Amino acid sequence: MEINENIFSGRLYDLFLKWGLSENWSAYLDLLINLLIVALFATITTALIRWLVNFFIRKTTKLKRLSWLNYLTKNKFPLYLSLFIPYILVKNFIPIIFKNFSTWIIPLDKLADIWAVLIFIQIIMSLVKTGFDILSHKPSFQDKPIKSYQQVVMTVLVIFGIVVCYSIITGKSVGYFFTAIAAGSAVIMLIFQDSIKGFVASVLVTTNDMIHIGDWITMPKYGADGDVLEVNLTTVKVQNFDKTITTIPTYALVSDSFQNWRGMEKAGGRRIKRAIMLKQNSIRYISDDELPRFKKIQGIADYIDARQKEIQEHNTRIGADRSLAVNGRNLTNGGLFRQYIEWYLHNHPDTHKGFTMMVRQLAPTPTGMPLEIYAFTNTTKWIAYENIMSDIFDHLIAAVEYFDLEIFEIEASTDVRKVDLKQTTGFN
């Protein structure tokens, strides 16, 4: 841009001398007034450019296909652009305004260039933020760690700005700067080790599809049990189910183990794995006379007939002495109860029939024989899952007595007292 030097031709300086001011005072007053003129002109230019850019964005965002331009306003693009244009004016005015202060021209010229670099970096950053904002609202990118990529780009831009500013201040080439960086790389890696590890971890997490925004993860080491809110260069934010926020170092997702429940949510079924503790001495053989009573229990009559036939054939084949029940094979109330639970689960409307479903005995413990139910609900919603599991176990616990079984339960002091009173007084 060509500047008309007649505007700042020194007439004010001559006028001040004519009024009897000293040369120094005349020069300083001339400089001050010229600076005020330039500042006023730059302010008006900045405001005008910002208004024009905002006006253009407001008009164009009314079109649906250009609504993304709103992100430019959100990320202050009009502000940074309006600050960059006056730089051209100031850059050209410096040698004219400071012609009486020649020693100031070079430092101010470098300062203006540094200002230009900073504003240019801010403009690029606002465009980058706008691009990532647009991507983050697209369905295909909503569960991706966009924030970490954005921070990587921001870091590169900041480094670029620092290198250029260094080159402007020292007058040395950019290559010299990188040579100095290489010489001190060990110190730099020590200082920025968390950022470097976070960057590598972000790449690995994304490449291996280890985590998405919205995933439910569990990481006991860091007290995390909830949904992923944000994945950035250095930290992962998790909102726990108690609404607290836990931050986890990004590299910890690679170096430590964590549990991601995304597979469960995608599968459409959530596992039930819980046991009923039966008293072992309540498990017994069932005599033939008792079978009609058990056949009345829905779901196991056909099983009893088929199983009884199989047992009788086996006992006849081996010549079992049936005067003692222990000889040969027998039906037990525990086995019938297991069969009933399997039938109940297979016919329950809220269990997932496509996943593993079984009832098994675990190793006996001092607190009884664990009879474990292993099945899946047909929903992954937490409240619905808990209700389904509670309904199933309410029914099974109530059904135990129909099989002449007992649930192990440690007696409370009040229970012992009731037994003592009953024995001593004869009253319940």
User: What's the pLDDT band for 339 if we cut at 50, 70, 90?
Assistant: very high
pLDDT of residue 1 exceeding 70, the answer is no
Instruction: Report which of residues 207 and 251 the model is more confident about.
Output: 251
- DSSP H or E segment with residue 182: helix 174-183
According to DSSP, the residues that pair with 312 across neighbouring strands are none
The average pLDDT across 228-234 equals 82
Which has the closest alpha carbon to 85: 129, 53, 56? 53
Host domain of residue 391 = 267-413
The average pLDDT across 304-311 equals 91
pLDDT of residue 346 exceeding 90, the answer is yes
Could you tell me if residue 119 is inside a domain? yes
pLDDT tens sequence across 78-115: 777 777 777 777 777 767 666 666 677 777 778 878 88
pLDDT value, residue 405: 94
Task: Please state the domain count of the chain.
Answer: 2
Given a contact cutoff of 8 angstroms between Cβ atoms, the answer to whether 105 and 94 are in contact is yes
- DSSP H or E segment with residue 391: helix 382-399
Could you tell me if residue 285 is inside a domain? yes
- Cβ-based neighbours of 284, under 8 Å, separated by 6 or more: 332, 333, 404
Distances in whole angstroms, Cα of residue 213 to Cα of each of 152, 228, 260: 18, 5, 12
CA distance 1 to 209: 52
CA distance 326 to 331: 11
The average pLDDT across 405-416 equals 75
Instruction: Report which of residues 178 and 423 the model is more confident about.
Output: 178
According to DSSP, the residues that pair with 260 across neighbouring strands are 217
Could you tell me if residue 316 is inside a domain? yes
DSSP 76: T
* Structure-block tokens of residue 251: 């590299």
For the packed helices 174-183 and 146-170, what is the interaxial angle rounded to 10 degrees?
110
Long-range contacts of 107-113 (CB under 8 A, 24+ apart): 110/168, 110/169, 112/87, 113/168
CA distance 9 to 15: 12
Could you tell me if residue 218 is inside a domain? no
Evaluate the CA torsion angle 67, 72, 76, 79 in order and state its sign. Answer: negative
**Encoded amino acid at 205, one letter:** V
- The whole-chain average pLDDT of the chain stands at 80
pLDDT tens sequence across 163-219: 888 777 777 776 666 666 665 666 666 666 766 777 777 777 777 778 888 889 999
- Cβ-based neighbours of 362, under 8 Å, separated by 6 or more: 275, 369, 370, 371, 372
- DSSP H or E segment with residue 229: strand 224-231
Q: Which of 103, 137, 171 is the last residue of a domain?
A: 137
Instruction: Report which of residues 154 and 221 the model is more confident about.
Output: 221
Given a contact cutoff of 8 angstroms between Cβ atoms, the answer to whether 136 and 96 are in contact is no
pLDDT of residue 325 exceeding 50, the answer is yes
pLDDT of residue 23 exceeding 60, the answer is no
The average pLDDT across 310-328 equals 88
Q: Is 268 helix (H, G, I), strand (E, B) or coil?
A: coil
User: What's the pLDDT band for 240 if we cut at 50, 70, 90?
Assistant: very high
pLDDT value, residue 249: 87
User: What's the pLDDT band for 22 if we cut at 50, 70, 90?
Assistant: low
User: What's the pLDDT band for 419 if we cut at 50, 70, 90?
Assistant: low
How many CB atoms within 10 Å of residue 162? 13
pLDDT of residue 143 exceeding 70, the answer is no
pLDDT of residue 5 exceeding 50, the answer is no
How many CB atoms within 10 Å of residue 336? 22
Residue found by looking up tokens 């098994």 in the block:
360
Which has the closest alpha carbon to 56: 39, 40, 43, 73? 73
Q: Which of 106, 137, 168 is the last residue of a domain?
A: 137
- Give the CB-side neighbour count of residue 5, counting CA atoms within 13 A: 8
Could you tell me if residue 186 is inside a domain? no
Instruction: Give the distance from CA 2 to its chain's centroid.
Output: 54
pLDDT of residue 356 exceeding 80, the answer is yes
Could you tell me if residue 305 is inside a domain? yes
Could you tell me if residue 421 is inside a domain? no
Could you tell me if residue 87 is inside a domain? yes
* Structure-block tokens of residue 243: 């609404």
pLDDT of residue 372 exceeding 50, the answer is yes
Among 71-75, 136-140, 387-391, top mean pLDDT goes to 387-391
CA distance 275 to 388: 15
Distances in whole angstroms, Cα of residue 312 to Cα of each of 291, 300, 302, 337, 353: 14, 18, 16, 21, 33
**Encoded amino acid at 200, one letter:** V
Report, in angstroms and rounded to the nearest whole number, the Rg of the chain calculated over CA atoms.
40
Q: Which of 137, 163, 198 is the last residue of a domain?
A: 137
Which has the closest alpha carbon to 7: 134, 93, 81? 93
Provide, rounded to the nearest whole percent, the portion of the chain with pLDDT above 90. Answer: 31
pLDDT value, residue 68: 63
